[in-house]
Chain A
Amino acid sequence: MVQRVLAAGAIPIGKTNLDEFAMGSSTENSAFGPTRNPRDHERVPGGSSGGSAAAVAAGFAPIALGSDTGGSIRQPAALCGVVGVKPTYGLVSRYGLVAFASSLDQIGPFANTVADAALLLEVVAGHDPLDSTSIPAPAPSLTSVLDEGVAGLRVGLITELLGDGIAPDVAARVRAAADALAAAGAEVGEASVPAASYGLSAYYLIAPAEASSNLARYDGVRYGLRVDGATTGEMMDASRTAGFGDEVKRRIMLGTYALSAGYYDAYYGKALKVRTLILRDFAAAYERFDVLLSPTSPTTAFRFGDKVDDPLAMYLNDVCTIPTNLAGHPAMSLPFGEGGDGLPVGVQLLAPAQGEDVMFRAAVVLEEAAR
């Protein structure tokens, strides 16, 4: 993926900050220290790819890459007021990406404009034989469809993601976005994805379960930090205790528990069933609509320390973004005005698998309307 960017002539200027192993929604869980939100330095940039969002928002770089397992591109893009895209699972190769949750992880672009995001996604997308889950098809053409407009496009507002827990000023901006699309010729209606309300619970079993296995290899035997112990087991134990941060340990323990004998069916097994239901509900919604619309994050950027000690409150940040990861579908966040606090609000556009083209067409119209 990096080779594709370099081959296209991009100049790498730095590695951006993120939450440890991409676990977090505020970039406060980083060994390098927190990243500040360029729009308000007292507030978080979102996470986990907060560094990439902040770098683009601050003008350090016109484009950046991040990874999105449950919203880690879209939520920081929303909080920093930039464009962030989570492509269809399998569109961008995961080879070289340090795995968090393999069945959910996807790399995607950050940019200041929809067109720049489309350009970067075109470059990094496409089949890679080194990733068995890579879609065996060439990269879609996105820049060529940007000005096709939304006339006749069917847009659904996800009702489950506009009620409780969503700040009224954020919900208002989403409704305004729907109006803008309607004004441009789209047919706007209300869409229901009932199982989306269980997305968060399912995600916090599936993602930690996969992470508990993916992160097992950091055991001090072959590379990285090693803390000596009297036996191999003690050495592994000491190395992992010293090396991982609290949030990472929390998720490894959650995931280990969810997969354990006697608990698998009640937790991991049930989460997989919810995942199937979410896919089914999205499929039903996409029979009626071409794209869906929702908030990206329930609130605008919050203050440092507000949620870092309350994992559940932090996890709730991803309630709108997680269902798409579970479905493997594409979604993107783009800025659409400001909240009551003057901070950027992101709206989320969702599309069925490999529906990036219609998603980008709607995004261009919203970008125009927000100007």
Chain B
Amino acid sequence: MTTTESSPFTITSESTGDEWELVVGLEVHCELATATKLFCSCPNAFGDEPNTNVCPVCLGLPGSLPVLNHHAVELAMRIGRALHCEVHPSVFARKNYFYPDMPKDYQVSQYDQPINVDGHLDLADGSRVGIERAHIEEDTGKNTHAGGGGRIHGADYSLVDYNRAGVPLVEIVGRPDIRTPDQAKAYVDELRAILLATGASDAKMEEGSMRVDANVSVRHVGDPTLGTRCEIKNLNSLRSLGRAIEYEARRQVELLESGERVLQETRHWDEEAGRTRPGRSKEEAEDYRYFQEPDLVPLRPAGDWVAAVDAALPTLPAARREALAAAAGVEPTDRGVVIAVDRALDGLAVAAIAAGADAGRVLNHVEHNLATEGAAALDPAHLAELVQLETGGQLTATQAKQVLADMVETGRPPADIAAERGFEAMDTSELAGVLDGIVAANPDAWADLLAAPDGDKRLKKLRGFFTGEVMKATKGQADGKEVNRLLEERRAAGS
């Protein structure tokens, strides 16, 4: 079997020559960034001592009743509207099944009447993924199984932490419009950016505040009907997502090619083994016995509430990337642009560029030197000034980095900080003297450098060595560009 990485992603059978197409639909659960839980006033917090953020309601004690958190509804609507969904009158339903991490042995969710319906998400590559629905539901607690390899079967005992029980979730159900692993990753990445931009969720896959399940099936290229799908769980990173989808597609094609059938089942991704495994075998189909939650009333957000949500929606990441890319004269897919929007530093970058700073250097600083908290509060004029000092040769890259760190911390203008630190670019004659000393101290390396022809890969390494030594000797005060110029000058002279 061979795989074509470029779009469209197809798997070609070596035996039959058949071409197979991948079909993926993603279900994304995200925890909403509310202060309290969905139906009670317990804190919605990650990582606290087990069973400390609990009360009669989220423990499901007899006699307790749920009261809907309105901020959760607001955040759910933000997600829905950012995904171009319609907000519908909705009702809550009970999803009934027994599991120890569920205090009531039912989950309050939305079933046949969800709040957000029928939207879409446009990806940077120009493709559009349909959104079937984005509904509100409560999270479950968390089980820890002691012994038996951490799985419930064969465990000596299990511990349950109910801090997460009742945390508000929105489940975003995407349509099966995704055709490549990369597209799946781009979709999740974009969704994450939207969740962050709207403030609806902190969307951390590693902490589980954003959880992705992938429904994967394959079909012959050109076949309009969908194949039997498997639901892949335990995808804790974008990398896992891409690998799992690709593995699963190949597994299904192999099955079908050998005349077998794909079983509709839940499968777990094993990152270490690089494969999916069948989940707990289900002897019979799950029957959740959904019915309308009688302890809650129907949810009918008023038109002016929806309008207020719309009005307060921030400019979404795609539009922000386009704006920054236009200002910087690069593509919206440029790494620096993507990172700037991700860190909410795109406004700063656009303003600094508008103030006359070199766009490349601005994006470079955003990517490498501004991962710190408080960076967004930088005065764009100060950032522009810093970049101008740099491009004007008054500051080296290393000095600029230090001054920038100071600027973030103190909010003072770069000229003041540079003067106070005594930063000024080193005199060329002084720098040449330093290089002389280093060449003299490393005769073998210098001979190697002179002997290396242009384009030799050792040349880059050797240049790096000498530049590094000069930086070390000058405690980073030397201008890297100037050092390179001097090195090239001496190399050309052959001495």
Looking at the assembled complex, report how far the CB atom of B142 sits from the nearest CB atom of chain A, in whole angstroms.
14
Given contacts A216-B96, A260-B287, contact A130 B105 (CB under 8 A): no
- CB within 8 A of B100: which of A131, A232, A261? A232
Query: Which residues of B are found within 8 Å of A130, using beta-carbon distances?
Result: 65, 67
The answer to whether A132 touches B68 (Cβ under 8 A) is: yes
Asked if A326 is an interface residue, CB under 8 A from chain B, the answer is no
Given contacts A221-B100, A259-B96, A261-B287, contact A132 B63 (CB under 8 A): no
Query: Which residues of B are found within 8 Å of A95, using beta-carbon distances?
Result: 63-65
- CB within 8 A of B160: which of A131, A209, A221? A221
The answer to whether A132 touches B66 (Cβ under 8 A) is: yes
Asked if B106 is an interface residue, CB under 8 A from chain A, the answer is yes
Contact flags B437-476 to A (C-beta < 8 A → 1, else 0): 0000000000000000000000000000000000000000
The answer to whether A256 touches B289 (Cβ under 8 A) is: yes
Looking at the assembled complex, report how far the CB atom of A101 sits from the nearest CB atom of chain B, in whole angstroms.
8
- CB within 8 A of B63: which of A99, A101, A133, A232? A99
Residues of A at under 8 Å CB distance from B?
Answer: 94-99, 101-103, 129-133, 209-210, 212-213, 216-217, 219, 221-223, 231-233, 236, 256, 259-261, 264, 268
- CB within 8 A of A213: which of B67, B68, B106, B160? B106
The answer to whether A222 touches B294 (Cβ under 8 A) is: no
Query: Which residues of A are found within 8 Å of B105, using beta-carbon distances?
Result: 216-217, 219
> Bound complex: CA of A213 vs CA of B102, how far in Å?
13
Contact flags B160-172 to A (C-beta < 8 A → 1, else 0): 1000000000000
| Known contacts A219-B100, A223-B61, A232-B100; 11 further A-B pairs (Cβ under 8 A) | A132-B295, A132-B296, A133-B294, A133-B297, A209-B291, A216-B104, A217-B105, A221-B160, A222-B60, A233-B98, A259-B96
B89-111: which have CB < 8 Å to A?
Answer: 94, 96, 98, 100, 103-106
Looking at the assembled complex, report how far the CB atom of A224 sits from the nearest CB atom of chain B, in whole angstroms.
9
- Smallest CB-CB A-B distances: 6 pairs: A216-B105, A103-B294, A259-B289, A102-B294, A96-B63, A98-B62
Asked if B152 is an interface residue, CB under 8 A from chain A, the answer is yes
Given contacts A98-B62, A232-B100, contact A132 B297 (CB under 8 A): yes
B331-369: which have CB < 8 Å to A?
Answer: none
- CB within 8 A of A260: which of B64, B94, B289? B289
The answer to whether A222 touches B289 (Cβ under 8 A) is: no
> Bound complex: CA of A69 vs CA of B290, how far in Å?
22
> Bound complex: CA of A260 vs CA of B289, how far in Å?
5
> Bound complex: CA of A264 vs CA of B285, how far in Å?
16
> Bound complex: CA of A165 vs CA of B76, how far in Å?
53
Query: Which residues of B are found within 8 Å of A261, using beta-carbon distances?
Result: 285, 287, 289
> Bound complex: CA of A95 vs CA of B153, how far in Å?
38
> Bound complex: CA of A259 vs CA of B93, how far in Å?
13
16 A-B pairs in the complex with CB atoms less than 8 angstroms apart: A95-B65, A101-B294, A131-B65, A132-B66, A132-B296, A133-B295, A209-B291, A213-B106, A216-B106, A217-B105, A219-B100, A223-B61, A233-B98, A256-B289, A261-B289, A264-B289
The count of residues in chain B whose C-beta lies closer than 8 Å to any C-beta of chain A is 31
Contact flags B26-68 to A (C-beta < 8 A → 1, else 0): 0000000000000000000000000000000001111111111
Query: Which residues of A are found within 8 Å of B290, using beta-carbon distances?
Result: 259
> Bound complex: CA of A99 vs CA of B98, how far in Å?
18
Looking at the assembled complex, report how far the CB atom of A94 sits from the nearest CB atom of chain B, in whole angstroms.
6
Query: Which residues of A are found within 8 Å of B160, using beta-carbon distances?
Result: 221
The answer to whether A98 touches B100 (Cβ under 8 A) is: no
Looking at the assembled complex, report how far the CB atom of B143 sits from the nearest CB atom of chain A, in whole angstroms.
9
Query: Which residues of A are found within 8 Å of B59, using beta-carbon distances?
Result: 222
Query: Which residues of B are found within 8 Å of A133, using beta-carbon distances?
Result: 294-297
> Bound complex: CA of A129 vs CA of B64, how far in Å?
12
Looking at the assembled complex, report how far the CB atom of A269 sits from the nearest CB atom of chain B, in whole angstroms.
9
Looking at the assembled complex, report how far the CB atom of B283 sits from the nearest CB atom of chain A, in whole angstroms.
12
The main secondary structure of chain A at its interface with chain B is loop
> Bound complex: CA of A97 vs CA of B65, how far in Å?
9
B105: nearest chain-A partner, CB-CB: A216
Query: Which residues of A are found within 8 Å of B152, using beta-carbon distances?
Result: 232
Query: Which residues of A are found within 8 Å of B67, using beta-carbon distances?
Result: 129-130, 132
Query: Which residues of A are found within 8 Å of B285, using beta-carbon distances?
Result: 261
Looking at the assembled complex, report how far the CB atom of B427 sits from the nearest CB atom of chain A, in whole angstroms.
75
The answer to whether A217 touches B65 (Cβ under 8 A) is: no
The answer to whether B291 touches A213 (Cβ under 8 A) is: yes
Query: Which residues of A are found within 8 Å of B62, using beta-carbon distances?
Result: 98-99, 217
Contact flags B117-161 to A (C-beta < 8 A → 1, else 0): 000000000000000000000000000000000001100001010
A97: nearest chain-B partner, CB-CB: B63
The answer to whether B65 touches A213 (Cβ under 8 A) is: no
The answer to whether A217 touches B103 (Cβ under 8 A) is: yes
The answer to whether B289 touches A102 (Cβ under 8 A) is: no
B68: nearest chain-A partner, CB-CB: A132
Query: Which residues of A are found within 8 Å of B297, using beta-carbon distances?
Result: 132-133
Query: Which residues of B are found within 8 Å of A223, using beta-carbon distances?
Result: 61
> Bound complex: CA of A219 vs CA of B104, how far in Å?
9
> Bound complex: CA of A217 vs CA of B295, how far in Å?
15
> Bound complex: CA of A214 vs CA of B337, how far in Å?
52
Given contacts A98-B62, A217-B105, contact A236 B296 (CB under 8 A): no
> Bound complex: CA of A103 vs CA of B291, how far in Å?
12
Q: Which of A213, A222, A256 has the most B CB atoms < 10 Å from its CB?
A: A213
> Bound complex: CA of A231 vs CA of B153, how far in Å?
8
The answer to whether B65 touches A132 (Cβ under 8 A) is: yes
B233-256: which have CB < 8 Å to A?
Answer: none
> Bound complex: CA of A209 vs CA of B291, how far in Å?
9
The answer to whether A268 touches B60 (Cβ under 8 A) is: no
> Bound complex: CA of A191 vs CA of B104, how far in Å?
43
> Bound complex: CA of A96 vs CA of B60, how far in Å?
12
> Bound complex: CA of A223 vs CA of B100, how far in Å?
12
Query: Which residues of A are found within 8 Å of B153, using beta-carbon distances?
Result: 231
Given contacts A131-B65, A223-B61, contact A102 B96 (CB under 8 A): no
Query: Which residues of B are found within 8 Å of A131, using beta-carbon distances?
Result: 65
B143: nearest chain-A partner, CB-CB: A232
Looking at the assembled complex, report how far the CB atom of B47 sits from the nearest CB atom of chain A, in whole angstroms.
22
> Bound complex: CA of A97 vs CA of B105, how far in Å?
18
- CB within 8 A of B294: which of A96, A97, A210, A212? A210
Query: Which residues of B are found within 8 Å of A264, using beta-carbon distances?
Result: 289, 291
B63: nearest chain-A partner, CB-CB: A96
Contact flags B58-93 to A (C-beta < 8 A → 1, else 0): 011111111110000000000000000000000000
The answer to whether B294 touches A217 (Cβ under 8 A) is: no
B261-305: which have CB < 8 Å to A?
Answer: 285, 287, 289-291, 294-297
> Bound complex: CA of A231 vs CA of B145, how far in Å?
12
Looking at the assembled complex, report how far the CB atom of A327 sits from the nearest CB atom of chain B, in whole angstroms.
15
Query: Which residues of B are found within 8 Å of A210, using beta-carbon distances?
Result: 291, 294
> Bound complex: CA of A217 vs CA of B101, how far in Å?
11
> Bound complex: CA of A98 vs CA of B65, how far in Å?
10
Looking at the assembled complex, report how far the CB atom of B69 sits from the nearest CB atom of chain A, in whole angstroms.
11
Looking at the assembled complex, report how far the CB atom of A351 sits from the nearest CB atom of chain B, in whole angstroms.
23
> Bound complex: CA of A96 vs CA of B97, how far in Å?
24
Q: Which of B65, B96, B106, B295 has the most A CB atoms < 10 Å from its CB?
A: B65
> Bound complex: CA of A41 vs CA of B273, how far in Å?
73
Query: Which residues of B are found within 8 Å of A98, using beta-carbon distances?
Result: 62-63
> Bound complex: CA of A129 vs CA of B67, how far in Å?
8
